[in-house]
Amino acid sequence: MSETRKIAAILVADVVGFSRLAGADEDRTLSRLRGLRSDLIDPAIAAHHGRVVKRTGDGALVEFRSVVDSVRCAIEVQNGMIERNAGLPPERRIEFRIGIHLGDVVEESDGDLMGDGVNIAARLEGIARPGAICLSEDAYRQVKARLDLAVSDLGETQLKNIAEPVRIYSLDVGLAAQSKAAQPTEPTTPDRPSPRLALPDMPSIAVLPFQNMSGDPEQEYFVDGMVDDIITGLSRIKWLFVIARNSSFTYKGRTVDVKQVGRELGVRYVLEGSVRKLADRVRITGQLIDAGTGAYVWAERYDRKSDDIFALQDEIALSVVGAIEPSLRRAEVERVKRKRPDSLDAYDLVLRAQPDVYSGMPERATKALVLLERALALDPTYALAHAFAAMCHHNRFLRAGLHEEDRAASIRYAQAAIVYGQDDALALTFAGFSIGMDGHDRAAAFAAFEAALAVSPSTALTYILGSVILGWTGEAERSIEWGERGMRLSPFDPWAFAAFGSLTLGYFQRGRYDEAAKAAYKAVQSNPAHSINYVLLAAPLAKLGRLEEAKAAAARVLELQPAFRYSRQFSGVDCAPALAASLSEALRATGLPE
């Protein structure tokens, strides 16, 4: 059975004294529970975007996309029960205990959830008073600044079968609390005005001081140093407006609301997190939040050994910046999609073009070029617009007939991107790729990649696209090294298929055909519309003697790209002769046209 590990907000609810109620009048109790589910509980879960994982006779396990949603749902249910129990004698009242935790869970293929994240929520439910809601510290930290709640700190408690003590908070629920929490709130502190600063033209972010959860003041230097490194790394991204440390650190030690931070600092996104150090282990969590809506854009947890604390600072900072950049770009693309077409500026036009550029498909490249030409008409020195245009012509060159005019245009736009984008890591990366793949100038390509990494060492895409050139030109070990490095920095990158493709080429050249096939399968899963992924899958399968699977992959190539001929493809990418010969031998057996 396949399983997926993830971070989730888990709510567990149970009826207090169900056996007593059922023993007194089972039919009436079950009928009342069915009515509560249909009239109160299920509508509240749906309204707050929850998913019922499983039900028991008198309870439920529910997953939510955020702790805020789970708490709002719990408050709505508990206040609904206060209304429904009004006037009933105590022995006939149905009351719920609710526990909420944010933690690591394992999702089975049937949708069931397991793991400590579920177990802790269940233990919290057992501790809660009738009609109350108990939150773990991890869950409470997510809502304390976003909802106006009366809270009791119950202290640290050792829960059954849970290794570490858990700090628990109990929410005082009442109709007043429900009215305040039923919609997003924007609290302000009385001693600090909250003026709304205008958002800058580019995406903007504030990195708040991470919370030191270790209870050791000596660890503050590590926590603050890591946040400093993250701010520095983000500041190297040309298209991102980053609030300076001196401003964001004014929030240190304070309970804040991200919407308030967004207003006061004039930013669209806020990054917050925490660090917990125990013995020789460090756990770091980070959340990127849209300050306008409160929605989560990205969240991740890092568990590391703390042998070299300064090396760990560098590693985590690079990982966080590398993961945030593509997540921010995706969020910005979705934001721009909501703007009216006649109100788009050059930046918006480039963002609108991005999904079509990233698709790798020639027909979508043509569509993107229309937007990019409009952007360049507004700003002829826009480096990323030139770089995206280079990629569009690259996609048309390799997948729509190898026309010389597309190859020449790819190189021309790439050279312009390098001229105008000396401080733009993404523009330099795409330009280097186009020059390497279409101009067959490996030295110029890697000069651009090195310049990109000098600007922003955490740009995962530089390593990913560099690994592709290394793979095709026969440098197997470096191809694997760069591909793995790129995926380490950005595990869910939209260009993951390219990294998996380069790993396939590296393993294939080393005769590790089983590993090559596995990597190629991942490339296909990452981008099933990219024809070259199936070429790279067919070759190692053929080498392994799995000809039926190899022929199926080859047939898919021709469905996506009917004019495909592998000899022309290898010539187009300047494939290393030994690699081309080995791939050709394998592909002949699949019936793919030479």
Q: What is the pLDDT of residues 317-338, one digit of tens each?
A: 777 887 777 777 777 667 666 5
Task: Please list the alpha-helical segments (H only) found in 421-459.
Answer: 425-438, 442-455
Cβ–Cβ under 8 Å, residues 100 and 194: no
d(CA 296, CA 498): 27
Q: How much is the pLDDT for 147?
A: 65
Between CA 183 and CA 293 the distance in angstroms is 11
Residues of the chain with pLDDT under 50: 1, 175-195, 343
Rounded distance between C-alpha atoms, residue 298 and residue 579, angstroms: 39
Residues of CATH 1.25.40.10 domain(s) within the chain? 339-457, 474-594
Span(s) in the chain for CATH 3.40.50.10610: 204-331
Could you tell me which of 495, 440, 439 has the C-alpha nearest to residue 463? 495
The CATH number for 474-594, chosen from 1.20.140.10, 3.90.950.10, 1.20.1050.40, 1.25.40.10, is 1.25.40.10
List strand residue ranges (DSSP E) for 235-295, in order. Answer: 241-242, 269-278, 281-290
DSSP notation for 281-320: EEEEEEEEEETTT--EEEEEEEEEE-SSHHHHHHHHHHHH
Predicted pLDDT of residue 423: 81
Q: What pLDDT is attached to residue 215?
A: 67
Which CATH superfamily does the domain covering 339-457 fall into?
Tetratricopeptide repeat domain (1.25.40.10)
Neighbouring C-beta atoms of residue 44, cutoff 10 Å: 20
List all residues 6 or more positions away from 191 whose beta carbon is below 8 Å from its beta carbon: none
**Per-residue b/e over 456-475, b at no fewer than 16 CB within 10 Å?**
bbbbbbbbbbbbbbbbbbbb
Ranges in the chain annotated CATH 3.30.70.1230: 3-181
Q: What is the pLDDT of residue 320?
A: 80
Determine if the pTM surpasses 0.85: no
- Whether the CB-CB separation of 258 and 297 falls below 8 Å is answered with no
Place domain 3-181 in its CATH homologous superfamily: Nucleotide cyclase, GGDEF domain (3.30.70.1230)
Q: Which of 218, 209, 207 is nearest to 309 (CA)?
A: 218
* Helix/strand/coil for 527: coil
**What's the CA dihedral at 434, 439, 444, 446 to 10 degrees?**
50
CATH superfamily placement of domain 204-331? ABC-type transport auxiliary lipoprotein component (3.40.50.10610)
The C-alpha atoms of residue 492 and residue 250 are separated, in whole angstroms, by 33
pLDDT, position 187: 33
